[in-house]
Amino acid sequence: MTDTQARVAIVTGAARGIGAATAVRLAADGHAVAVLDLDEGACKDTVEQIRGAGGTALAVGADVADSGAVTAAVARVAEELGPPVVLVNNAGVLRDNLLFKMSDDDWDTVMGVHLRGAFLMSRAAQVHMTAARYGRIVNLSSSSALGNRGQANYSAAKAGLQGFTKTLAIELGPFGVTVNAVAPGFIATDMTAATAARMKVDFEAFRTAAAERIPVRRVGEPADVAHTISFLVSEGAGFVSGQVVYVAGGPLN
């Protein structure tokens, strides 16, 4: 248990990867956690892991890009767990392609999940945060916000989330709500495994090559990001807001 007072948290995209690790970590910190993902059934493993460790968790199925589904999901969390005052906008998808091959759908899907999703979830959750005069929002940006070949859609969305983060920090700060972004570098998850597969590279070789370029000489694990998010949502981090924390094993330009 850290200094975090028991509060209700929502983590989106929490069926696996960084979201699952974050949900488990926030539960270990003492939060009751809504484990939200597209498919409620897919949240089972994360929820069982939390409950098995004595924590409180609720599986919630919702598409974060769907306004009606988001409204219903946040209302359900408030009713079943209590008012959510911690939100981690983690749900994400990739639709990588070079610009000349990128379809309208590749663009819209990525914008929909990352930007519209974070907007809809934050707008719904801030009602509870401002009422409580306390809140913590963390948005998942990425080192790709700095530019990455084949990711015009994703890098634009992840850079957009940095502006979104700073603006919400300004608007919600007077209500005791902090808003920050974490921008991971290479984290070993299904997402990076899918990138390796798309490039027709063995994942172990892909990881090893990435690690050689990272100053700490390893790739990141979901727990590395979860640890940073745990700090940002802790009670003691109340004077840290509007920041982008790169979790990348070294500095990025």
Shortest separation between residue 37's beta carbon and ligand NAP, angstroms: 5
Q: Rounded to an integer, what distance in angstroms lies between the CA atom of residue 226 and that of residue 125?
A: 20
Query: Is 18 a residue that touches ligand NAP (CB under 6 A)?
Result: yes
Q: Is 231 exposed, middle or buried (0-12, 13-18, 19+ CB in 10 A)?
A: middle
CB of 114 closer than 8 Å to CB of 163: no
Task: Choose, by CB under 6 A, the member of 72, 191, 211, 237 that binds ligand NAP.
Answer: 191
Query: Is 47 a residue that touches ligand NAP (CB under 6 A)?
Result: no
Task: Choose, by CB under 6 A, the member of 26, 74, 140, 156 that binds ligand NAP.
Answer: 140
Q: Binding segment for ligand NAP among 121-129, 190-198, 210-218, 227-235 (CB under 6 A)? A: 190-198
Residues 6+ apart with CB under 8 A from 247: 182, 183, 184, 185, 187, 220, 224, 225, 228
Kindly give the interhelix angle for 190-198 and 203-213, rounded to the nearest 10 degrees.
100
Query: Is 12 a residue that touches ligand NAP (CB under 6 A)?
Result: yes
Q: Rounded to an integer, what distance in angstroms lies between the CA atom of residue 184 and that of residue 227?
A: 12
Residues 6+ apart with CB under 8 A from 234: 2, 3, 4, 29
Which 193-252 positions form the footprint of ligand NAP (CB under 6 A)?
none
Q: Binding segment for ligand NAP among 36-44, 121-129, 173-181, 234-242 (CB under 6 A)? A: 36-44
Residues 6+ apart with CB under 8 A from 108: none
Backbone angles phi, psi at 247, to 5 degrees: -115, 85
Query: Is 13 a residue that touches ligand NAP (CB under 6 A)?
Result: yes
Q: Given the complex with ligand NAP, which of 37 and 134 has the nearer CB atom?
A: 37
Q: Binding segment for ligand NAP among 1-9, 164-172, 186-194, 230-238 (CB under 6 A)? A: 186-194
Shortest separation between residue 238's beta carbon and ligand NAP, angstroms: 24
Task: Choose, by CB under 6 A, the member of 38, 47, 118, 152 that binds ligand NAP.
Answer: 38
Task: Choose, by CB under 6 A, the member of 7, 8, 17, 138 that binds ligand NAP.
Answer: 17
Annotated catalytic residue 134:
no
Which run of H or of E encompasses 129? Answer: helix 117-132
Name the one residue in this structure whose structure tokens are 């390893």. Answer: 218
Query: Is 19 a residue that touches ligand NAP (CB under 6 A)?
Result: yes
Q: Rounded to an integer, what distance in angstroms lies between the CA atom of residue 26 and that of residue 172?
A: 22
Q: Given the complex with ligand NAP, which of 131 and 209 has the nearer CB atom?
A: 209
Where does this chain bind ligand NAP (CB under 6 A)? Answer: 12-13, 15-19, 37-39, 42, 63-65, 90-93, 113, 117, 140, 142, 184, 186-187, 189-192
Active site residues: 154
